[in-house]
Amino acid sequence: MNSVHVIGAGPAGSVAAISALREGHKVEMSEEHGVPGFPVDCSGLISKDGLESLSDLVDYRKYALNPIHGAILDFSGHQMKIDAKKPVAFVINRASFDFALSSKAESEGAKLVRNERISSQFRGASVIGADGPNSTVAASFHFPNIRRFALTARCKVRYDGENPHFIRAYLSNRTSPGFFSWLIPHNEELAEMGTGVLLPQNPLPALQSFSKKIGIPLSREIRFALIPLECRRKTSLRSGGKNILLAGDAAGQVKSTTGGGVFFGTSCARLAGRHAFSPELYEKEWKALYQKDLRMHKFAHFVYGALPDAGLKLAGRALSFFQIEKYLEERENMDHPTRILHPRLAVHCLSALMQK
């Protein structure tokens, strides 16, 4: 029986462990915290498709706090509302959700070692690094660096209760340079308010500015998180007789547009567990399935991150002119931009133009 050492018991690590177990491997997981899922470093907003992709492992409905039907996007003063009229995402209790996935890995036979921060003592013939953007696995085996990061600051706030099933996203390179600000309702009273900036800038002044702009006071507890904005050029190798694979944030398998990493991270983690002893096959397969979408997220982020606020406002007006809201409402896809950039988009734009 081959042995696999998974570093990190977040969603990517737990899914990689389960996948490796189902291939007949012996799996040990190392988690630096005492309880997987704590502390919470993510907003908890996950697409319905992303949650459904994990339905064989965990029932996300047990952890759902609020269904999200769409988004209100503010392009530096120009607003557009996308309403799918049904849930396209959910705000979930992220701590409980992550803990449920790690418990599922344990129930299937993984040995979970808590309060263990691994820096060099990697066990097993295969090592899967699912240990976040500052991956010790990636550093130890000299993987190519991730060069672009966003740093976010967020807190729980009381809000007006308006549009409780819509996230609000604010694009302004003056307020949140290189990323965006958001308000994500958890119910009709509480929401998460946050902002992100491109490193090396500081998100705290941006969060304070955003708080004043929308008139919602900050709470005392502000949490920070690092988000990779690109994939590593290489995510697997062989070294010293070991097979080394990276998955999730450690590999940079994250949507650069929003910072969401659960769908792509766990999808790639399944492949990492399946191909734990075939790193070349893992690299080839995840890139064939997901690299194009991740690159399009990166391109979109680069474009809106480079525009001044006047340009963002003009872009928002152009999107509304072509009734892109209606087109997106019919597509309902938060993860795969390649499914949005379809020949039907050209037909839609032409139809909208003819109606003017």
- Residue 300: pLDDT band (50, 70, 90) is confident
- Domain range list for the chain: 3-63+93-146+230-304, 149-228, 308-354
Mean of all residue pLDDT scores within the chain: 89
**pLDDT surpassing 70 at residue 345:** no
pLDDT digits (tens, 9 = 90+) for 187-212: 999 999 999 999 999 999 999 999 99
**pLDDT surpassing 80 at residue 287:** yes
**pLDDT surpassing 60 at residue 348:** no
Locus of tokens 């064939």: 288
**CATH class (in words) of the domain with range 3-63+93-146+230-304:** alpha beta
CATH H-level superfamily of 149-228: D-Amino Acid Oxidase, subunit A, domain 2 (3.30.9.10)
Return the percentage of the chain with pLDDT > 90, whole number.
71
For the segment 42-54, the average pLDDT, to the nearest whole number, is: 88
Terminal alpha carbon distance of the chain = 67
* Residue 39, preceding peptide bond in cis (omega within 30° of 0): yes
Contact 149, 232 (CB under 8 A): no
- Residue 344: pLDDT band (50, 70, 90) is low
